[in-house]
Structure 1
Amino acid sequence: MGEFTGKRVVITGGALGIGFATAEIFVKAGARVAILEIEESYAQGTLSRLGGEAADVLFLPCDVSDALAVEKNLAVLMERFSGIDILVNVAGWELNKPFLDTTWDEYRAVMDENVGGAFLVSREVARLMIGSIPADNTSMCEAHRRGAEAQAQPPVMVRKSGGVIINVAGALCRGGHEGYALYQASKAALIALTRSMAAELLPYGIRVNSVSPGFVLSPGLRVGLRGTGNEEKALREFKEKQPLKRYGMTQEIARTIMAACGGDFAFAWGSDILVDGGYTLA
């Protein structure tokens, strides 16, 4: 029995790139994995690549920036898994566009997905980890919508139970890079959110950290570089800027995420773990 055998792991954006590599490594470690992914069309291929019926994997089509969708899908997840031990927030958008040409709608979309999604999923998962539910057994968001009277009902603290939340941020937010103003801003905000979450959730034994990859060869990176107008040229130029003269691999980031979820990182709370091949040293 390994450390993660039977652990219930939720991964947002788990169909591609770092998210998929993270799902794959947890499945191989014997974990039960639930993937929240906005692209429903990825379901069959993702489940097949993760081992098909032999693997205990649940694929839930979900826009993580939609509060109602998050609640609905987590309810389905709880019916299947009856609890959550680990959450990894990977879902994000690597928009690459000149600052002066960026629209307000794009700003909101990037922030909603990269920060808002992590906030919404983390909030609901943390409540489930704590075992805190409204006294009338409705969801927290539903109670909020009912107004001040519903909010006046304090949640019932059923139990205290530890858990782990990892937010995937980005090393790029530690510097400045043309074309990535919104991406960098969103990831910097995510690191700040991580630290505040860590402080507030520490009394409940929920450990929160972030992992900040550098440039990783993934579909997300290619989407971002496509915005330059010449994806292959941008790939070559970005690689030359890396101290190791290579891109990171999704599996390298996934192994770091798994390590951060384990007992060896039990003393790390509110930390941002850089995995950038020395990019921030250059």
Structure 2
Amino acid sequence: MSAQLLYARSGNEAVEINPSTGATIALVTSGSDWYWTVFSVMAATTLGYVVLMAFVPRRERFFHYLSVGAALFSSIAYFTMASNLGWAAVETEFGHQQGGGERQVFYARYIGWFMSAPLIMLNLSFFAGVDWVTALFTAMAVNVYIIGGLVGAVVSTTYKWGYWTIGVAAWCLVVYQLVWVSMRSLNELTSVTVEPKIRTWYRLIIGGVVFIYSLYPICWGLSEGGNVITPTSEGVFYGVLDLIALPILNTAVLLASRKLDIEELGLGIPAARTESVPEKTPVA
């Protein structure tokens, strides 16, 4: 009897242990399975970044530290969603799925993005040699992009699309910073002039980032916004985008950063130096 009970309880029980009480349009077990898969990839990426960091001098780990943070925050977010936690029931504006009702909206996803996306943008900006003020502005703009999606997702009326519009406008600022400002800064780096392949690699990465992050509002419109697809399909859509954005594109930036001169970028931590104190001349 105990063996049968153990067998019956094997597998993913997150949706049963943490039920979607109050949400009529909710995640199912297959969706939770997908979230566990993405969590595993994000966790493995985090560990991989830590291992790579061990082979880099401590004073040159700037990109590695940011990458570890981004992957770790994303791992926590996906662990939460896989456990069917970190969500709120929001009344839908449209009735495409199940005639409407209370839809399960994972705010944990947006918290993870709020913490990880700015770190990814900082990696991209500093890779191109952008100054601190401009890089921080890019990180701030991408957070406005995310907050617009979060607030819109938990609003049940048509006003949600106003927040979506604000978020998309903020993303346009990010695109300008990445495509125009960062590329112009990259072309001025002497170390990249020595290895022109890095410029080509960076252009491909930027193109991928702009394309992938531009698909998030489309997914939002089909899921939290328009209630066209189920929360499980929403998770697959967002999950694929996150997997491309972090384990693939950010890893490409991290590996390419090893070809750059950290000191030229102004990101190296100077070694501790002891300065001799001048002797005081005796007063006559």
Normalising by structure 2, what TM-score?
Answer: 0.28
Q: Which has the larger radius of gyration?
A: 2
Kindly indicate whether structure 1 or structure 2 has the higher relative contact order, using CA contacts under 8 Å at least 6 residues apart: 2
Report which of the two has the higher share of helix: 2
Quick check: which one's strand share is greater? 1
Relative to the length of structure 1, the TM-score reads 0.29
